[in-house]
Structure 1
């Protein structure tokens, strides 16, 4: 792809985000996307970019660097990781003048950056964010926000006290297909939303080989309780944000069950979770995640009285009218004085199997929502204020994921906290 081809693709992508967020109700439902798309389309050249220092250059950190490189308003000027092999792998994605650090405080003290990107293990997010705010920097942090609900709130209050942007990496909030799905749901196309079913199923141990120069907890931090809530913070938080977004509210309470069901290898976090989040009006978000069967993969089913939206698959489906049984049809015909042939072998009962209609597409092909969220972050840093509504969504999704962990651990329903930070 040439630079010209990329410019055309990018322009088309931004146009489609604007299309998806245009219309009644969307300014309230996704104000950040409108702001981000507008800002991304306004900067014709990559001049005076926001200077980013990336803390954490593992697999996710390196992917983020590649996405940042595509933006028009951000540039990676410093990278940091305590594990030398990660830094070595990241060098291919940064320029020759990019500064390299093994200690994040040294990177902060060196200056020359406007903001940090945090892609470290979950339990380090809060500490790294606090240090960045103390250094007068803005923060983009991977989801989930932090290991505890208290630390999630502290990240918000510290960003507010420092008057700095805090943005969390929930890329679905910038995804054109999801934005279009939300627009059509808000327009009433699938009726009243009463249930969302979501899953993220994989078939692997989620365990990585440990090199001779590292420890298991350093490489496999997702498998240990002090550094991660496992499936809840690494996967479920994405889909809980989607549920809160479409229901336009956080849950009121959650019940659930978690177990180490298959991978009995010394891990501390569950490899199989099943939860029900309750929302006002009796609405439900039903979530499952497991690590030994990938048949249903990652999906969400937004279910309404008139149809269903599956944004991960990019489809919208209308409800199919129920079939009329032969005897019921004959009874109606007699009442109206109508006559028609009655098939002797006609069905008197139909199995209620899944509907397999093809539905309608919600997507537009290839796009890069992670790039757009960084362009939005760059615009927020330049303006000195966060994209509207974005942090609240991320904060509530992180709280919901950690509350679900508590419900499973305690074996009891957990109600939504009343002492959360106001955003």
Structure 2
């Protein structure tokens, strides 16, 4: 009898050891982070924390210590054992498994306390890839409505074409899911602000737009110093995103549907400037200009390959200058400069990927990044961790959905100015009736 009891204990311990990252998904048939639902089946593994506390909209994560705990199983076996309390896990469903979607999925699967339980895509090659990555336990479906209503999905990450963002955010919120949406939050100001105002109707759900610079260590440090008043009152911000020169069919087709260089490219700079300012400023006017000397065919799409934008903020007290280019021959270069009444901060002044200089008979050169994704590799992961901790722990996040909506309004106004060759007044839409 004693041997049988010890055998049962070993089996239960092995089950606990297998819980890992999918503990929350295996322990409950309903989401521990979404609004409470009646479980379809009782827990199938030992309960290690109190379900009512976990299912509440605001819960305190368990302390990660070894404790003496009474284990309850579905077979009503009661015994005492020393076990390690398993932490909650955020279960993310990812919509879109293309270039950026794959980066996010692989990043999530490399992190702790977060996992991918489902993927939604209509493209056969993406479906095949997602199934190979998630394995038999993952759900891969082309049906977005089915996807957002899956009980093993707590949050949705949208990596889909911009035109789908508004309706997909609305659908996820209606299904009780948290949302992280790739930039831009929507393709035009009306839709962007509709998303923002809709999010206010769901105070228990987190809604964010993904801008990785908000989690890049150099931008976080600059924002901290600005907030501390080290450069005084900010008067001017200058930021650029210049991409490696690329002349191929992929780029040309991409530009056709990108929304324009300000909406697709320098919106990163616009949001970075709003983040660094650290306050709710009102954009008042925008002027955009540019040229298409390298890619004259861009003019057919109402776009350019080099663009410069000026934006007045906060009753014309602050000026934002953004520059974007598709013609950077040495690689990708993101740079931001903030001028204040008492000083200046320069971020990524030189196009470095690593703090390494190489000197030889040809001179001295540095190692630069080839792409935005390469330069901000770590920031993309920190962004996911920030989203996870915001939901699981209530940790303060760097996301700002109102800024994301403002960024669309500013970028859209700059494109309008670029095409009309006139300055444009910026009007921010209010909530719809």
* TM-score over 0.5 (shorter chain): yes
Note if contact 1:53-1:115 (Cα within 8 Å) is conserved in structure 2: yes
Change (3 A) 1:381 1:149: same
Change (3 A) 1:86 1:270: farther
Change (3 A) 1:92 1:308: farther
> Does 365-374 or 283-292 show the bigger shift?
365-374
Asked whether 1:62 is paired with 2:96, we answer no
Note if contact 1:299-1:312 (Cα within 8 Å) is conserved in structure 2: yes
* Structure 1 residue 233: Cα displacement: 2.3
Distance 1:421 1:171 in 2: 28
Segments of 5+ residues of structure 2 without an aligned counterpart are 1-59, 66-84, 352-374
1:291 to 316, 322, 326: 326
> Does 187-196 or 40-49 show the bigger shift?
40-49
> What pairs up with 1:13-412 in 2 under 5 angstroms?
47-91=87-131, 93-163=133-203, 164-205=205-246, 208-209=249-250, 220=253, 222-224=254-256, 227-247=257-277, 248=279, 249-265=281-297, 268=301, 269-280=303-314, 281-294=316-329, 297-313=333-349, 368-382=378-392, 387=397, 390-412=400-422
* Structure 1 residue 46: Cα displacement: 6.8
The answer to which structure has the higher strand fraction is 2
Distance 2:149 2:234 in 1: 50
1:24-58: per-residue Cα shift (whole Å, max 9, x none)? Answer: xxxxxxxxxxxxxxx99987987441211100111
Note if contact 1:40-1:372 (Cα within 8 Å) is conserved in structure 2: no
Distance 2:62 2:309 in 1: 41
> Does 263-272 or 165-174 show the bigger shift?
263-272
3-state SS of 2:327 partner: coil
* Structure 1 residue 144: Cα displacement: 0.9
Distance 1:308 1:386 in 2: 27
- Bigger RCO (CA 8 Å, 6+ sep): 1
Note if contact 1:197-1:300 (Cα within 8 Å) is conserved in structure 2: yes
Note if contact 1:147-1:228 (Cα within 8 Å) is conserved in structure 2: no
* Structure 1 residue 110: Cα displacement: 4.3
Change (3 A) 1:207 1:396: farther
What TM-score comes out, normalization by structure 1 length?
Answer: 0.67
1:314-345: per-residue Cα shift (whole Å, max 9, x none)? Answer: 99xxxxxxxxxxxxxxxxxxxxxxxxxxxxxx
Note if contact 1:130-1:158 (Cα within 8 Å) is conserved in structure 2: yes
1:253-291: per-residue Cα shift (whole Å, max 9, x none)? Answer: 111114443223466133222111112354321122121
Segments of 5+ residues of structure 1 without an aligned counterpart are 1-38, 211-215, 316-364
What TM-score comes out, normalization by structure 2 length?
Answer: 0.65
Change (3 A) 1:381 1:392: same
Note if contact 2:61-2:392 (Cα within 8 Å) is conserved in structure 1: no
3-state SS of 2:265 partner: helix
* Structure 1 residue 299: Cα displacement: 1.0
Note if contact 2:214-2:398 (Cα within 8 Å) is conserved in structure 1: no
The CA RMSD over aligned residues, in Å, is: 3.5
Structure 1 match to 2:372:
none
Note if contact 2:210-2:399 (Cα within 8 Å) is conserved in structure 1: no
Distance 1:401 1:366 in 2: 22
Change (3 A) 1:166 1:299: same
* Structure 1 residue 207: Cα displacement: 5.0
* Structure 1 residue 120: Cα displacement: 0.8
Change (3 A) 1:301 1:153: same
Distance 1:171 1:307 in 2: 26
Distance 1:46 1:67 in 2: 22
Change (3 A) 1:282 1:42: farther
Change (3 A) 1:206 1:251: farther
